[in-house]
Amino acid sequence: MDSGLNAELDLARQRLKLMIDAAGATCGWEWDIPAKRLTADARFAAITNQDPLVLAQGVSTEHFFNAIHPDDLKRVKLAVAGILGGSALFSREYRLLRDDGGFRWVHASGRALYDDNDEPVKFIGMLVDITEQKRTQERLRIAQVAGGIGTFEYVSGYGTINVSEQFCRLFGLHPAKVLPVRTLNLLIHPDDNPIINLQNPNGFQDESNAEFRITRPDDGAERWLARRGEYVDDIEAEGRRYIGVIFDVTDAKRTQQRLREANQALAERARESIQERNRVWQNSRDLLVVIGTDGVFRDVNPAWSTILGTEPQAVIGSRVLDAVWPEDRDQIRALLKDVIENLHSDLEIRLTHRDGTPRTISWTTSHEGDVVYAYGRDVTIEKEQRAALQETEAQLRQAQKMEAVGQLTGGIAHDFNNMLTGVIGALSVIRRRIAAGRLDELDKFIDAATSSAERAAALTHRLLAFSRRQSLDRQSLDVKQLVSSMEDLFRRTLGEQVELMINIAADTWKAVTDPNQLESAILNLVINARDAMPEGGKLTIETTNAALGEADLAQKESLQPGNYVVIAVSDTGIGMSQATIDKAFDPFFTTKPIGQGTGLGLSMIYGFAQQSGGHVRIYSETGLGTTVKLYLPGSHEDVAAAILDEDPVYVPPRGEGEKVLVVEDDASVRMLVVDVLKDLGYQVIEAVDSNQAIPLLEGKERIDLMISDVGLPGLNGRQLAEIALSNRPKLKVLFITGYAATAASRGDFLAPGMEMITKPFAIDDLAQKVREILTGQAEA
């Protein structure tokens, strides 16, 4: 029975223990201080592994410390000593060993009871199993530290607040368990909410989430903290307990702030950018246009009305083509397609002004998305000015050309008249001598006439070549032979500094061309080549054949496909730029210093080549040299030459032995005049220029008439006449001139007793004039 009872008792104990384990129930004790006796309830006994019956009856106070973990024992004993010594409160957490070898955490809370003399007489209290709570606390602590979360508890009506260590760290304070609320509130920015509002100490705190700035006392830094919390019922006293957490939200706040600032800055920039765009749109003098891909104006800026007379409102929504100048619409329709399809395009379009006239607009467009942005500049006036300028330039060039031609022809006419005079005079002499039966010395005059005529012909050729209207003496010509025959001439022309190479292909065809012109052209090219090599170099003349097909011919060249003889003249000189090449064939274009070139050389060669049915090409590299290739049609045919006829006979009046002074610098003209006068029965004295003439005039010799060329070297004919008249006031003077300008102002030029005859003149006319002067029949 006893054993059955004991078994039942054990069972009951176990059940109780399980209950204690499950419920975490409290277990009380009472310590009688003067009697030094401890009594405790069954739960206390169970949790400390003691006999409940014994404990209920009272035991020595040593039993209080039963089952306490050895590591905690001293701490607990100290605390108990405090209570026994007079401390009011006992509050300790420690470990109790279990009979299975493990331990549990308990919280022991107790207090002392005093007698009338304030001496402690009883120490009562209870244990609470807080193992689970400890674990939770530990987890909470770890979470708080890891999350940087500080906790606090505030009991309504108190001036202080219970805080965690992390809480103090967040506030930058020395760790403490209790802090004055005022202290915390003073650390909070005055504009922000306090952590606890003490205005109404016993009232409720605002439970909503709060954020505030604090200045940390330890490092002076300003931080943002957030508070979250709620009220729970106070389990220890009446009233309520506000439990909450704080955490640092500075980074988030700063990020927010930066984000806000960035947004503001962005908005500001966007606004400025829009304003800027608007200003540009409004104030632009040029057209700014937005066009849809359907070819309709989406928007145009106010410049439209300035440039085209129509208000933007009237333009927006209309078709682009309607604004285009009617004549250009077909062309623009295609271009507009390009603009819409391509990304970029530059084009010039004429638009119609409201007054019905066209305006030329230069457009730059860019296609973005489904619209085309176009920027247009009015170039109407610019275009007109450009055209006017071009016209003026052309006129100026023409005027310059005409002036040059005038100068040139003036000079040429003088030379040409001299030559004709030689021919005509000689022929007259021959005729007279034949008529007189004097057939000796005729050869001299025939030669003189021929020589003069040939010189005149050469000059004419040059002029014709210049005007590109020369009549070519085209014949089948052996180019090889011609070039070879000129070799001596080249060498003399080139001097020692230039090395000459002549490469003649043996199979070079004959060319159909004019031998003289070709000779002149080649010589011209050689001289140009020489002048391109002032420091010396190598000059090469080659002849080859070229069979040119369509493909070989450059555009704009007038050359036809066919067989050509090519004469190439190359130098190793300074070369020409493309700009120079482009202008090289223009008349009067020259790169040589003034006075050293006429600018006609290449121009004449070009004319000659064109007329021959050939061409000239220039190949040049600046600094390396130049090759000019002359293309002449190759051929095997001969060309016949023409023959000239002669004039009928005439007898001029004769002289009567009067003495005549002839002053003329052209030897053949002088010889001719002298011979004619002698033949007519005059005595003749000759002088080449004024220097020879003046001593004769100052001398005593009889002189009835002075015949003088106007264009003499040194003192001219007019000045010589002045000197002559000052010595011999009655002297008669006859001027010979080939210069039309002088003849045109005959009245101003001639003093009384002076006459003028214009070259070229017939010998008979000269005889007639001399006779008239000497017999005083001249009208002056």
Partner 1 sequence: MTQAEIFLGELERDALTEVVNIGVSRAAASLRKMVNKQVILSVPSIAIVTRRSAAALIGQRESEGLIAVQQHFEGPFSGRALLIFPESNGLSLARAIVGGEMTEDELIDMEDEALTETGNIILNGCLGSMANMLQHSLKMSLPDVLRGDSEHLFDVLETSNEDSFVLFLYINFSVREHDIRGYIAMIMDLPSLDKLKMLIADFIERVT
Q: Does 201 bind partner 1 (CB under 8 A)?
A: yes
The nearer residue to partner 1, 239 or 326, going by C-beta atoms, is 239
CA dihedral 13, 19, 24, 26 (to 10 degrees): -50
- Interface pick for partner 1 out of 7, 178, 280, 434 (rule CB under 8 A): 178
- Interface pick for partner 1 out of 159, 326, 681, 713 (rule CB under 8 A): 159
- Interface pick for partner 1 out of 34, 147, 175, 406 (rule CB under 8 A): 175
- Interface pick for partner 1 out of 37, 182, 329, 746 (rule CB under 8 A): 182
Site for partner 1 in 79-108 (CB under 8 A): 79-82, 85-89, 91
Residue 129: exposed, middle, or buried by beta-carbon count in 10 A (0-12, 13-18, 19+)?
A: buried
Q: Does 186 bind partner 1 (CB under 8 A)?
A: yes
Tokens of 677: 């006068």
Distance of CA 555 to CAs 228, 348, 549, 550, 559, Å?
90, 27, 13, 10, 9
Strands 683-687 and 222-233 turn out to be: unpaired
DSSP state letter for 461: H
Q: Does 221 bind partner 1 (CB under 8 A)?
A: no
Least distance from C-beta 129 to partner 1, angstroms? 23
The nearer residue to partner 1, 106 or 419, going by C-beta atoms, is 106
Least distance from C-beta 99 to partner 1, angstroms? 25
Least distance from C-beta 225 to partner 1, angstroms? 17
The nearer residue to partner 1, 183 or 293, going by C-beta atoms, is 183
153-161, 334-342, 416-424, 646-654 -> range binding partner 1 (CB under 8 A): 153-161
Contacts by residues 441-449 (CB-CB < 8 Å, ≥ 24 positions apart): 445/675, 448/422, 448/668, 448/671, 448/672, 449/422, 449/423, 449/425
Least distance from C-beta 164 to partner 1, angstroms? 14
Can the peptide bond before residue 760 be classed as cis, meaning omega within 30 degrees of 0?
Answer: yes
Q: Does 411 bind partner 1 (CB under 8 A)?
A: no
Reduced 3-state DSSP string for 606-669: HHHHHHCCCEEEEEEECCCEEEEEEEEEECCCCCCCCCCCCCCCCCCCCCCCCEEEEECCCHHH
The nearer residue to partner 1, 72 or 286, going by C-beta atoms, is 72
Least distance from C-beta 66 to partner 1, angstroms? 15
Strand partners, 495: none
Tokens of 61: 């106070």
23-31, 169-177, 507-515, 731-739 -> range binding partner 1 (CB under 8 A): 169-177
H/E element holding 579? Answer: helix 578-583
Least distance from C-beta 194 to partner 1, angstroms? 14
**How many other CB atoms are there within 10 angstroms of residue 439's CB atom?**
10
User: Measured between alpha carbons, how far is 465 from 229 in angstroms, rounded to an integer?
Assistant: 113
Least distance from C-beta 174 to partner 1, angstroms? 5
Q: Does 444 bind partner 1 (CB under 8 A)?
A: no
Q: Does 177 bind partner 1 (CB under 8 A)?
A: yes
Least distance from C-beta 82 to partner 1, angstroms? 4
SS3 498: strand
The nearer residue to partner 1, 34 or 713, going by C-beta atoms, is 34
The nearer residue to partner 1, 182 or 728, going by C-beta atoms, is 182
If binding means CB under 8 A, how many residues of this protein chain bind partner 1? 37
H/E element holding 736? Answer: strand 732-737
User: Measured between alpha carbons, how far is 136 from 413 in angstroms, rounded to an integer?
Assistant: 130
Q: Give the binding site for partner 1 (CB under 8 A).
A: 73-75, 77-82, 85-89, 91, 112, 114, 118, 157-160, 173-180, 182-183, 186, 198, 201, 217-218
